Amino acid sequence: MQPFVYHGLPSRVVFGQGSLSRLTEELEHLGCRRALVLATPQQQQQARDVLEQLGERGIGLYTEAAMHTPVEVTERAMRVVEELSVDCTVAIGGGSTIGLGKAIALRTGLPQVAIPTTYAGSEMTPILGETRDGIKTTQRTLDVLPETVIYDVDLTLSLPAVMSGTSGINAIAHAVEALYARDGNPVIALMAEEGIRALAKSLPRIASDPANAEARSDALYGAWLCGTCLGSVGMSLHHKLCHTLGGSFDLPHAETHTIVLPHALAYNAPAVPEAMARIARALGCTDAAAGLYDLGRSVGAPSGLGEIGFQAADVDRATEIATQNPYWNPRDVEAKGIHRLLSDAQAGQRPQVGDGGEQ
């Protein structure tokens, strides 16, 4: 076996049906008495329910969380934090809300409780991506890792079927890139393959029966594993492309990951045969890139970036942004190949492994 380094992250996970009932107990465990509850405008009612549950420990709401964690949104939240003398945040929602909690933690050092209602995985990572002036930048620091994560399966039962599918494939992307990460290790590889397997098995069941609690539990378990992978090792081409498309073209996060992933994997495939084999095994297919594309179709996800607002005319600029700063990838990042990759993803073509990621 090759030498490796494994670093476990210091977070507490509470998993199960009805586990939200333990929120006050978890705040007591952290020694917190003045919690600010965070959410997006769309999840304002859930945030109000949480605030009511907290009683005297809940002192306010901030429900302006937005995709890609815009700095201006965080700055408005910081004024509320200061005015209310907040001593912790409770973020309920997906990556947008949890990202806001992380941005506040970076600036204040306040402890966080994350209550994910999607499969995005941000809650398990020491990674924060923020957008300023149309450019999304990412940093990794334990200062933004939530202290406690409460996974309540019941909170995912109302997640719309198509959104569940794209959120779940977004989670799978973390595990896929973990399998060929430069700092990968056998412990994370086990988690990655199991996370892909759990989500690939459960997402089509959720698509046909969104109220299936067993499938929801399996999907949330898989998302936890995939999020742990994202938090433990570095990512590469796929995540770089999605950050570019999200931060500079304002594309929706989960859908972008879902569409780009098969193409990014096809591009990298010649350099990572072992990872390709493990991904295919977890998906139950022979071609990993095609299997991921087919999984997207099975859950009703969009097939091309053109369906979510990315135009063919945007490919040149996206290629330039994605290739202007060097970053590690198992295969050289070449502008011609990335242009073809993005063109194929824009058009929704089925990926095929080939020279330069071409079909």
Compute the average pLDDT of residues 95-116: 97
Give the pLDDT confidence score for residue 135 in this predicted structure. 85
Compute the average pLDDT of residues 21-38: 98
- Residue 247 pLDDT exceeds 90: no
pLDDT tens track for 177-221: 999 999 999 999 999 999 999 999 999 999 999 999 999 999 999
Residue 236: count other Cβ atoms within 10 Å of its Cβ.
Answer: 21
Count Cβ atoms within 10 A of the Cβ of residue 186 and give its class: 0-12 exposed, 13-18 middle, 19 or more buried: exposed
The CATH code for residues 12-156 is 3.40.50.1970
Percent of the chain with pLDDT over 70: 98
pLDDT tens track for 268-277: 999 999 999 9
- Residue 53 pLDDT exceeds 90: yes
User: What confidence category does residue 354 fall into, taking pLDDT thresholds of 50, 70 and 90?
Assistant: low
Give the pLDDT confidence score for residue 1 in this predicted structure. 72
Q: Yes or no: say if 96 and 252 are a contact pair by the CB < 8 Å rule.
A: no
pLDDT tens track for 142-176: 999 999 999 999 999 999 999 999 999 999 999 99
Dist. CA 101–CA 90, nearest whole Å: 8
Domain boundaries, the chain: 12-156, 161-357
* DSSP state for residue 304 in the 8-state scheme: S
- Residue 128 pLDDT exceeds 60: yes
Compute the average pLDDT of residues 49-64: 97
Give the pLDDT confidence score for residue 112 in this predicted structure. 98
Compute the average pLDDT of residues 335-342: 97
- Residue 358 pLDDT exceeds 50: no
As given in the structure block, the two tokens for residue 282 are: 């977890």
User: Which residues does 107 contact at the CB level (< 8 Å), separation at least 6?
Assistant: 74, 78
pLDDT tens track for 312-331: 999 999 999 999 988 899 99
**Phi and psi torsions of 24, nearest 5°:** -60, -40
Percent of the chain with pLDDT over 90: 90
Stretch (H or E) spanning 108: helix 95-108
Q: How much is the mean pLDDT over the chain?
A: 95
Asked, colleague to colleague, whether 12-156 and 161-357 share their fold, the answer is no
Q: Yes or no: say if 308 and 302 are a contact pair by the CB < 8 Å rule.
A: yes
Q: Yes or no: say if 280 and 179 are a contact pair by the CB < 8 Å rule.
A: no
Give the pLDDT confidence score for residue 174 in this predicted structure. 97
CATH fold for domain 161-357: Dehydroquinate synthase-like, alpha domain (1.20.1090)
